[in-house]
Structure 1
Amino acid sequence: MPSLARRCALCFALAFPALAAHAAQVPWWKHAVIYEIYPRSFGDSNGDGVGDLRGIAQHLDHLQKLGVDAIWIAPMYPSPQVDFGYDIADYRRVDPQYGSLADFDALLRDAGKHHIRVILDMVLNHTSDKHAWFVESASSRDNPKADWYVWNDGVDADGPAVTPFQKRFEHDGKVPPNNWESVFGGSAWEWVPARRQFYYHRFYRQQPDLNWRNPAVEKAMFDAMRFWLDRGVAGFRLDAISTLFENPQLRNDPERPGTNAQGDPNLHSQFSDNLPEVHDVIRRMRAMVDTYPGDRVLIGETYTADVADLDSWYGGTRHDQLQLPMDMLVGFGWGAKFDAGWFRKTLEDAQTVPGQPLIVFDNHDNPRSIDRFGDGSHDVQRAKAIATLLLTTRATALTYYGAPIGMTTATPTRKEDVRDPIGITGWPKEKGRDGERTPMQWTPGPQAGFSTDPHTWLPVNSNHVTVNVQTESAEPDSLLSWYRTLIAVRRANPALRDGRMTFLDRDDPNVLVYRRDGAAPVTVLVNFSGQPQRVKTDLVRGAIRTLAATDPALAKATTLDGATLPPYGTWIVEPTK
């Protein structure tokens, strides 16, 4: 009988026959459109108000028609759901509310038939406090997993360097060993009476951090990844990957002025985030993943202050770490705005990275881009411009369920309606992430076609009667139709796949213009203003052909001469021979 690795190779060849021959030349992920799915919110197949794996499978036809190459499924493992799946209690099973391993295998097969790969979210920094590893670790100081997590005796509460913040968390005369804070509020240290020690948790107290300085932890986590790679997943999105290690001397993080949403001191995570040791782990992880066929991919959740910082996540000159660290600066950077100058600068910076860029505008942790870049009156037109940048620049594209139809952020207006714990602890300054996680809007009917249960886990946005897949599929000028057009053009056009990116007319404050070079270069023009803009004829000389345009009238043009871009309009052209 062939080995498991060889069976995996056969599965890939059968699922993606047209791609198999090309894979030896260009990794599939280089030109991919990756679509994040929040499993609780995508499709409910059994009517319990919560999405599941079979619900995802029921909508693969839509994803294929859209042009998706891979889906990234947010955590679907067994979990107490304190952080809605990012607190994992078992890395090798499926949470019963989402289905079973058999359901996952069926989804993997069905996705392959639709030429869609499956990427899983892998949370390596921490587990749930209900995971068997932590239950054992917390039981005593001398059990086999006693050092699988980050434990510390703390310091005397009356010590000379103890801060008022530390004093708030005193237990039996001991306080946390330093000032490190949980991202979600309070101290990052939690007291366990059975051990008379504190454990470290960068996130919720129910998410204890693993001790990655223990080789047994690395082995166990790599084995968990192999479990899913052996089943045929195309790779992993690595959650909070920069947080695997902490300063072994537990030095205090520097304080900044003011307080955060939870009322705690503002800190610079100098000693509790992005330590150099994490890159050694990723290098070994990449070597392990590379033993599998089919160009398996590692995608990193990498928030950086500068695009140059991404170099270390690729692995520098060796390119032996992440294939796709996320460039969050274009879509989420400080000062991001709907402005031609902003995008000219950040997109040009993105082209300087030493590997393949991965551009992100939407995810499960941030308000939706249609709200962040909209003005309340021209949101869909602006969303079409954002879609153009996502899908025509030199980058792998990552989108999020609902973004291609213009789903909006539905932030709770009352604290009692909040489900996300960070919204509960931070209200009203921090209202949580429920707003960007509401159920997918498939139809204008009850529960937007997401579920037959009127009591969905989060309320369906009331705008689903107009913003939904069914309605927009029938409208040629809808946002969904524009996404489908862009993805089809991207897939068919060599210049949009591989061409170098050159920015033209760099001083124009209103219109962003860039060219994707190739035998038939493609020029993209996007009007970021609310007024018509005359197109400069020297941008593309001679006869042109329209590949896509938000204004149907532009499709009739055979030259740029006399052409005008309508407000927030996009025009994608190539020269004709």
Structure 2
Amino acid sequence: MGIFRRIAGVAGSLCLFWAALDATAADTKAPWWKHALVYEIYPRSFGDSNGDGVGDLNGINAHLDDLEKLGVDAIWIAPMYPSPQADFGYDISDYQAIDPQYGTMADFDRLQQAAKQRHIHVILDMVMNHTSDHHAWFVESASSRNNPKSDWYVWNDGIPADTAHLSAVQRRNIHDGKAPPNNWESMFGGSAWQWVPARQQFYYHRFYIQQPDLNWRNPDVEKAMFGAIRFWLDRGVDGFRLDAISVLFEDTELRNDPERPGTNAQGEPNLNYLYSDKLPEVHGVMRRLRALVDSYPGQRVLIGETYEPNIKLLDEWYGTKEAPQLQLPMNLQLGFGWQASFDATWFRKRLQESQQVHGQPLLVVDNHDNPRSIDRFGDGTHDVERAKVVAAALLTSRAVALTYYGAPIGMTTATPTRVEDVRDPVGVTGWPKDKGRDGERTPMQWTSGAQAGFSTSPKTWLPVNPNHATVNVEDEWKQPESLLNWHRQLIALRRDNPALRDGAMTFLDNDNPNVLVYRREGTRPVLVMLNFSGSAQPVPKRLMQGKIRTLAASEDSLREVATLDEASLPAYSAWVVTSD
């Protein structure tokens, strides 16, 4: 728990922020995850060990040395459970097994053992909101209205098709004289309700048709899902990233969600998910799940996929000291807020807000659902330089940092150019307005050779990005100034430097529109200066007196500077210094 403090910037402005750590003493008793770098792996795309064009667990195992060299503390593995792959693993048909295309349980055990030998923790993705329609639970539930699992999913009789004021989405989904009970839409397009003749009812699916939502108001569902979580905790996993947890519950009256202006990629009305998202009951599940996880030794961790519009709502996911919930709700505002841009003012405001939570912040700028940050924050000319600035902001802030495979080398988004090449269901239904998420899921680029060293197959599940000839791990390890070695340097600094590891953040020169400056406090403070502009900028006055020592600099010219007096920051540069 932290305390609010007020601190003055060099311009006399005050910055209100949450300081959760003693700035002068190392937090030696902190759990392993509190200062971690978490690395997301999309298993289909990381490493293919058997030449079938699809990544697998042994492919992850084969590259653990690279992750150890980078300084990764934990890997988050996207779903690897048995699945029909309608949504590439997020439609799970068995929570307690490994999909054969990814390997066996023995392969997983070897991976976990090898990771632990390298001091890398293993975190699994857990999809609690929905299953595959191939899951045995749903097959039984869909078979009749009176089977033992008949109430394990969200079923409804629908309403008469001649009911007034049906939405267009409802009118397109009429069966046997019945329309869906409300206007709720699937995130992948169309009505969120699917008709099943055997039951003469609709089931609810927030996401794809093949992903029916579980009925979390049935205690048997919670018991079964917690049982699956126990299965993996008993195997020694270090925690879970919880997918889509905000939508576990739906309004019991199934009221229509209010419409917002405009339409989505499928041409349907935008909705305000007032009755189908973020209902308060979900926090009770999180408290009970936290109690379960805390009953295991080894500081297991819960990471939440928590897209929230403001820091106050994000803070609620931490719970309280008496009733804790998630240790690490994802702060996705910095990287994915609707106004996110490569801008000093944007990054300053979001980082300031990130400190205002009752726990350790977790910052995310890349994941498997969004175009890669090098493209979102780049300008097409200075992409690597800008990526170094973004990496410095992520890795020198007081927060757990989450990165995504390929981000440390600057992998770019390779969006399909033809609808017939799209694999992602979002792109299939949303083309051309939404071309899907294939572009950020292309195979990992290990080498400049055939298929980027990802696979020996001439045809991989998604095409390898042609820029692997210059953007790849093997070559970047050899280049001291590469984006990969920049990441490695910053990761080592955040691990070893007391101020960067444990110190609070003091934001300085807060009115500067071009340069973001903050100080990480400690016996020997560290100053971070990030120039977001395309021209050289003077270093703000009186930031650090006397001689300085450069800890990291994205530009060679900064490494020999002895004082901040009259110094300037080159365009798109990052500079991390301490007193000499």
Which TM-score tier does this pair reach, normalised by the shorter chain?
over 0.9
Q: Secondary structure at the match of 1:556?
A: coil
Per-residue CA distance 1:193-236 (angstroms, 9 max, x = gap): 00000000000010000000000000000010010011111100
In the other structure, the counterpart of 2:214 is: 210
In the other structure, the counterpart of 1:416 is: 420
In the other structure, the counterpart of 2:376 is: 372
Distance verdict in 2 for CA 1:507–1:324, change over 3 Å:
same
In the other structure, the counterpart of 2:479 is: 475
- Structure 1 runs not aligned, ≥5 long: 1-21
Kept after mapping to 2: 8 A contact 1:35/1:68: yes
Which aligned pairs between 1:493-532 and structure 2 lie closer than 5 A? 493-532=497-536
Q: Secondary structure at the match of 1:209?
A: coil
- Taking the aligned partners of 1:334 and 1:354, their CA distance within structure 2 comes to 24
In the other structure, the counterpart of 2:343 is: 339
In the other structure, the counterpart of 2:432 is: 428
In the other structure, the counterpart of 2:194 is: 190
**Is 1:151 the equivalent of 2:162?**
no
Kept after mapping to 2: 8 A contact 1:301/1:326: yes
Q: Secondary structure at the match of 1:483?
A: helix
- Taking the aligned partners of 1:159 and 1:557, their CA distance within structure 2 comes to 75
- Taking the aligned partners of 2:309 and 2:49, their CA distance within structure 1 comes to 41
In the other structure, the counterpart of 1:6 is: none
TM-score (norm 1): 0.95
- Taking the aligned partners of 2:396 and 2:375, their CA distance within structure 1 comes to 21
**Is 1:396 the equivalent of 2:400?**
yes
Q: Secondary structure at the match of 1:541?
A: coil
In the other structure, the counterpart of 1:265 is: 269
- Taking the aligned partners of 1:483 and 1:267, their CA distance within structure 2 comes to 40
Shift of 1:390: 0.7
- Taking the aligned partners of 1:539 and 1:416, their CA distance within structure 2 comes to 55
Shift of 1:553: 2.8
- Structure 2 runs not aligned, ≥5 long: 1-25
- Taking the aligned partners of 1:533 and 1:165, their CA distance within structure 2 comes to 53
Distance verdict in 2 for CA 1:447–1:220, change over 3 Å:
same
Pick aligned residue for 1:536 from 537, 540, 543: 540
Pick aligned residue for 2:313 from 301, 309, 313: 309
**Is 1:407 the equivalent of 2:419?**
no
- Taking the aligned partners of 1:413 and 1:505, their CA distance within structure 2 comes to 44
- Taking the aligned partners of 2:233 and 2:145, their CA distance within structure 1 comes to 34
Per-residue CA distance 1:247-305 (angstroms, 9 max, x = gap): 00000000112211011111111000000000000000000000111110000000001
Find runs of 4+ consecutive structure 1 residues off by over 4 angstroms. none
In the other structure, the counterpart of 2:365 is: 361
In the other structure, the counterpart of 1:139 is: 143
Kept after mapping to 2: 8 A contact 1:35/1:401: yes
Q: Secondary structure at the match of 2:302?
A: strand
Per-residue CA distance 1:151-177 (angstroms, 9 max, x = gap): 000011012343333111000000100
Kept after mapping to 2: 8 A contact 1:439/1:460: yes
- Taking the aligned partners of 1:352 and 1:525, their CA distance within structure 2 comes to 21
In the other structure, the counterpart of 1:297 is: 301
Q: Secondary structure at the match of 2:398?
A: coil
Pick aligned residue for 2:124 from 117, 120, 123: 120
Amino acid of the structure 2 residue aligned with 1:544: I
**Is 1:486 the equivalent of 2:490?**
yes
**Is 1:86 the equivalent of 2:90?**
yes
Q: Select between 161-170 and 209-218 the one with higher mean Cα deviation.
A: 161-170
In the other structure, the counterpart of 1:572 is: 576
Shift of 1:96: 0.2
Q: Secondary structure at the match of 1:573?
A: strand
Per-residue CA distance 1:483-522 (angstroms, 9 max, x = gap): 0000011111111111110111111111111000000100
Kept after mapping to 2: 8 A contact 1:23/1:294: no
Pick aligned residue for 2:235 from 231, 237, 258: 231
Q: Give the aligned length.
A: 555
Kept after mapping to 1: 8 A contact 2:447/2:475: yes
**Is 1:164 the equivalent of 2:207?**
no
Amino acid of the structure 2 residue aligned with 1:215: P
Shift of 1:24: 8.1
Pick aligned residue for 2:32 from 3, 24, 28: 28
RMSD between aligned alpha carbons?
A: 1.1
Amino acid of the structure 2 residue aligned with 1:462: P
Kept after mapping to 2: 8 A contact 1:127/1:208: yes
Amino acid of the structure 1 residue aligned with 2:208: Y
- Taking the aligned partners of 1:23 and 1:224, their CA distance within structure 2 comes to 33
Kept after mapping to 2: 8 A contact 1:535/1:563: yes
Q: Select between 52-61 and 347-356 the one with higher mean Cα deviation.
A: 347-356
Kept after mapping to 2: 8 A contact 1:23/1:295: no
Instruction: Tell which has more relative contact order, 1 or 2 (C-alpha 8 A, sep 6+).
Output: 2
- Taking the aligned partners of 1:263 and 1:508, their CA distance within structure 2 comes to 41
- Taking the aligned partners of 1:113 and 1:505, their CA distance within structure 2 comes to 44
Shift of 1:354: 1.5
Q: Secondary structure at the match of 2:188?
A: coil
- Taking the aligned partners of 1:192 and 1:176, their CA distance within structure 2 comes to 12
- Taking the aligned partners of 2:188 and 2:555, their CA distance within structure 1 comes to 45
